[in-house]
Every structure is written in structure tokens, then in C-alpha cells.
């Protein structure tokens, strides 16, 4: 019996520990999680936006507290009795002190294991501008701002957002009730639209189609393209309709881009074919799974197996193309950085309580979307879009942009989107903005982009 008991205990400890730790009835892992303070989550400037506060009673000794909870919720996430999300989950080993390099440093220093702080790339000023401008529109949406040269994410906002502090209670009944209320709240505040929202790109996809046209060698900005008032989709009774004349139906590619001539780009899509369009889309990062920043992201989609009619629609962002706000920012970031898309990231550094740095971001290329020469052509074409003025233009700053704010169309009429970067001649920030079902407020998407750019350049 003694040997049987020893064997049973050995099996439990060696092979059953993970199952027992994951069992919701087991309080020990939860008590261990909250028995000591976690590291802080800091903005780029060093301001704590998530920290630990003593509860003054057991068995849970520390409670997580979030400063400006809704503002940073899509980034920080939360940690509670029910689990964790966001940076709290992605960086849990560092914040809790379980990371191997933290344990080694602690043993060398004084033997006390403490969680390390995580400093983000998020700029307080840019994050605030993005959140407040989205909130002012009164409609759900998201905004992302990226440094084109490094891939550092300067702002990542989803609106409406939830308050993580509401989920840090140790009263299980209250936690379950609050979580249910948040999940059922209008606008889906727990949905991280910036990383997981998928939207028809509409006219913003013409960036990809134009890049594919330029890369094919068959087109230049001065190439004259066909832009009839209406273009019949092959094999169907349906038409693509410009809705207005486009330079006597024979504009240059540059003019067609500026005027967003649908029939011109649908015709280019038919000429290039779906394979070239898909290759170019994937060069920007479409259909790429596994991108973590370190938060998980949903891949943007360019469909496969299309007939010619669907290819024409896909070329103008109207078929089954789908894009996230993060990808919208990545499109402009690639163009702004001479065709090289840097890997987006949210964590600038990890450091111990004594200030010693144990991990630092190492910016690296993610994709080569197009050549430097073609990137400059495309940047110049994007700049002409804002030369005529409008909500996205900024006095004294050249802004390169492309938007989709049409209120009618085959698929795209529900949302307003914009991708932009500035300054056009020396880019410092690239942005992607989406407003869901804005109706007559579609043009507000440009105001959000402008506010984010101004904050980044201030």
C-alpha cells in the first residue's frame, strides 16, 4: 500500500499537475497569482497604467488597478479570477515573475522573486487623442498609429471600451454578473476592434491595386487608363458605376487614384488578374496568420478562387476583401518606409524593480511590400488626395492618405475607413481608422486621423 500511494502521488505531481492547476475548483493557482504584486504596465513615457494594490485581507493579497481603464483597455486587457487578456496575458510570465531570466536575476541579487515592469510603445498623447476623437464621433470604431521606421505602435484604441477595474473584484458572483453585463452592453466593448475587427476595405484597397499595377511594369502614374462611366462585370448583368465622370473616361493612373475612379481600378483588376492582386496583398500582410504584437491579431483577408467579376470587385475592395484597422495602418506604414513594412510591436522594454533592463524591443522588417521607387510614386499619389483640402489636411504638414467614406455601394457602404501617414516627405506616423455605420458622419473618420497625426507630430 505504501508503494501504491507513493506511485499515485508521483503520477499526480509529474503528470497531473497541469490538469489540477487548470481545474476551476483549485484555488491555489489563483491565490498564488494574487499573493504578491505583479509588475506595472507603463506607457512609453513611464506612467503606470496598470499596477497592484494591497487588499488588506486574504486569501488574495493584491488587487490589480487600472489607471484610465477604458483608454488603455484594448492594450492592457485585465487579470481577474476568471482569467486574463491583453498584455496582462501575453506578458504574464514577465509581470508575475515566472520568466526564467527574472528568476535568475532575482537569485543573483537577493533571492526575492518579483514581477518585472513592462514599458509599452504607446504614447500617452497619441492614445488620448485617438480615444477622445473616436468618442466624439459617438459611433463604434478603432484607430491604430504606427511609427513607420520601427513598427512601434503609438496608439491602439477600440471604442467603445470597457473598464478593466470592474472585473478585478474577488467576489465571484459579482464578477460573473459584471462580465455578463459588459458582454451584453451595446457596441460590444470587450471586442478589440483594432486587432480583430474585419471590415470591407472599399477604396482604401486601391492602395494595393495601385501597388500591384506599378509592380507589374505595365503601369506608371502617368499611364492613361480606361474609366468608363459604367463597367459591366464579366458574365453578369451587374455594373460598377463611378457615379460621376472621371476625366472624360481616360484619366491617368495618378488622377484615377486621386478621384477614386471605381471603373478604372476594376478594369485594372481584370487586366492584372487575381493572382497578381493576391501576391501584392500578401506582400502587405494580407492572409498572414500568426502575427503577434505580442497580442494575437486576426489576419486581413484577400479571397482566393474568384471568377473575373469577383476579381474586378476585389480590386476596388468590394468582394470578400476584409481588413483590420491594424492592417490599414500597416498599409501606410509600408509606403511611408520606402516599401518595407516593419513588424508591429507593443512592448518597448521589460525591466526589474531596480531599473535594470532584461528585455528590449528589436525592430525588424516584416514584409517588403514594394520597391523604394514605387513606394515614392504611391506616396506622391496619396499626397494628391489631401492637396485639395478637406478634414484630413493639416496646415503646414503634407498628409498622404486614402479613404473610403462612400455611403452607398455593393458592399462597402456600412463603414468609413482611412489610411494615412505624415509628414509625406519625412514620415513619422502612419494611421488606420475605422468608423462603423457612421451614416452622415462618414467624413468624421478623417477628423480622427487628423487628430492622431497632430498628436504624434506635436
- pLDDT tens across 23-74, in order? 655 656 666 677 889 999 999 999 999 999 998 877 888 999 999 999 999 9
Confidence category of residue 21, pLDDT binned at 50, 70, 90: low
Number of residues that make up the chain: 458
What Rg do the C-alpha atoms of the chain give, in angstroms? 25
Angle at 194 between CA 284 and CA 301, to 5 degrees: 40
Tell me the C-alpha distance between 36 and 254, whole Å: 60
- pLDDT tens across 162-202, in order? 999 999 999 999 999 999 999 999 999 999 999 999 999 99
Residue 139 covered by a domain: no
Angle at 230 between CA 225 and CA 236, to 5 degrees: 110
Residue 10 covered by a domain: no
Nearest CA to 199 out of 320, 295, 283 is that of: 320
Tell me the C-alpha distance between 94 and 359, whole Å: 10
Residue 166 covered by a domain: no
CA distances for 338 relative to 25, 89, 210, angstroms? 54, 34, 15
Residue 220, domain extent: 202-346+366-457
Across the strands, what pairs with 144? 156, 432
As given in the structure block, the three cell numbers for residue 378 are: 504611391
Q: What is the CATH number of the domain that holds 296?
A: 3.40.710.10
Considering its fold, how many domains does the chain have in total?
1
Tell me the C-alpha distance between 136 and 335, whole Å: 29
- Is the bond leading into 160 cis (omega within 30 degrees of zero)? yes
Across the strands, what pairs with 284? none
Residue 450 covered by a domain: yes
Residue 217 covered by a domain: yes
Residue 51 covered by a domain: no
* Torsion angles phi and psi, residue 192, rounded to 5: -85, 90
The arithmetic mean of pLDDT across residues 284-302, rounded, is 96
- pLDDT tens across 392-414, in order? 788 889 999 999 864 333 334 58
Tell me: pLDDT of 371 over 60.
Answer: yes
- pLDDT tens across 213-231, in order? 999 999 999 999 999 999 9
Nearest CA to 452 out of 141, 129, 158 is that of: 129
Residue 232 covered by a domain: yes
Q: What is the dihedral of CA 400, 347, 297, 153, to 10 degrees?
A: -10
Secondary structure class of 243 (helix, strand, coil):
coil
The arithmetic mean of pLDDT across residues 255-267, rounded, is 94
Tell me the C-alpha distance between 418 and 401, whole Å: 7
Helix, strand, coil shares of the chain as percentages rounded to 5? Answer: 40, 20, 40
pTM, full prediction:
0.90
The per-residue pLDDT for 100 is 83
**Residue 189: enclosing H or E segment and its boundaries?**
none
Residue 339 covered by a domain: yes
Tell me the C-alpha distance between 268 and 337, whole Å: 25
Amino acid at each position: 500500500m505504501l508503494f501504491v500511494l507513493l506511485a499515485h502521488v508521483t503520477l499526480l505531481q509529474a503528470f497531473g499537475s497541469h490538469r489540477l492547476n487548470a481545474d476551476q475548483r483549485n484555488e491555489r493557482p489563483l491565490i498564488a497569482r494574487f499573493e504578491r504584486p505583479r509588475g506595472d504596465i507603463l506607457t512609453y513615457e513611464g506612467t503606470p497604467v496598470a499596477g497592484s494594490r494591497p487588499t488588506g485581507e486574504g486569501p488574495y493579497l493584491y488587487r490589480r488597478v487600472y489607471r484610465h481603464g477604458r483608454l488603455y483597455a484594448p492594450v492592457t486587457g485585465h487579470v481577474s479570477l476568471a482569467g486574463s487578456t491583453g498584455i496582462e496575458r501575453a506578458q504574464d510570465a514577465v509581470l508575475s515573475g515566472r520568466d526564467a531570466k527574472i528568476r535568475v536575476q532575482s537569485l543573483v541579487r537577493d533571492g526575492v522573486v518579483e514581477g518585472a515592469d513592462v514599458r509599452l510603445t504607446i504614447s500617452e498623447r497619441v492614445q488620448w487623442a485617438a480615444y477622445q476623437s473616436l468618442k466624439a464621433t459617438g459611433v463604434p470604431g478603432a484607430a491604430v498609429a504606427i511609427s513607420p521606421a520601427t513598427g512601434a505602435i503609438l496608439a491602439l484604441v477600440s471604442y467603445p471600451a470597457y473598464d478593466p477595474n470592474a472585473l478585478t473584484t474577488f467576489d465571484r458572483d459579482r464578477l460573473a454578473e459584471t462580465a455578463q453585463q459588459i458582454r451584453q452592453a451595446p457596441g460590444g466593448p470587450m471586442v478589440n476592434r483594432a486587432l480583430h475587427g474585419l471590415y470591407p476595405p472599399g477604396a482604401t484597397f486601391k492602395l494595393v491595386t495601385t501597388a500591384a499595377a506599378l509592380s507589374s511594369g505595365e503601369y506608371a502614374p502617368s499611364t492613361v487608363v480606361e474609366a468608363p462611366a459604367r463597367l459591366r462585370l464579366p458574365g453578369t448583368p451587374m455594373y460598377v458605376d463611378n457615379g460621376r465622370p472621371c476625366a472624360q473616361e481616360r484619366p491617368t493612373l495618378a488622377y484615377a487614384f486621386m478621384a477614386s475612379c471605381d471603373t478604372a481600378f476594376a478594369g485594372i483588376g481584370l487586366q492584372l488578374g487575381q493572382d497578381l492582386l493576391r501576391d501584392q496583398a500578401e506582400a502587405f500582410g494580407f492572409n498572414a496568420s500568426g502575427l503577434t504584437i505580442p497580442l494575437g491579431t486576426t489576419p486581413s483577408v484577400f479571397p482566393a478562387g474568384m471568377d473575373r467579376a469577383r476579381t474586378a470587385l476585389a480590386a476596388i475592395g468590394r468582394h470578400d476583401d476584409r481588413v483590420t484597422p491594424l492592417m490599414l495602418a500597416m498599409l501606410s506604414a509600408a509606403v511611408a518606409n520606402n516599401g518595407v513594412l516593419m513588424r508591429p510591436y507593443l512592448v518597448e522594454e521589460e525591466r526589474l524593480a531596480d531599473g535594470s533592463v532584461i528585455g528590449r524591443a528589436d525592430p525588424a522588417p516584416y514584409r517588403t511590400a514594394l520597391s523604394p521607387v514605387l513606394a515614392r510614386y504611391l506616396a506622391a499619389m496619396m499626397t494628391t488626395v489631401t492637396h485639395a483640402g478637406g478634414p484630413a489636411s493639416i496646415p503646414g504638414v503634407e498628409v498622404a492618405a486614402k479613404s473610403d467614406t462612400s455611403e452607398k455601394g455593393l458592399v462597402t457602404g456600412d463603414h468609413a475607413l482611412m489610411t494615412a501617414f505624415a509628414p509625406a516627405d519625412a514620415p513619422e506616423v502612419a494611421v488606420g481608422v475605422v468608423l462603423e455605420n457612421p451614416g452622415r458622419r462618414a467624413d468624421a473618420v478623417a477628423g480622427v486621423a487628423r487628430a492622431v497625426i497632430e498628436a504624434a507630430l506635436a
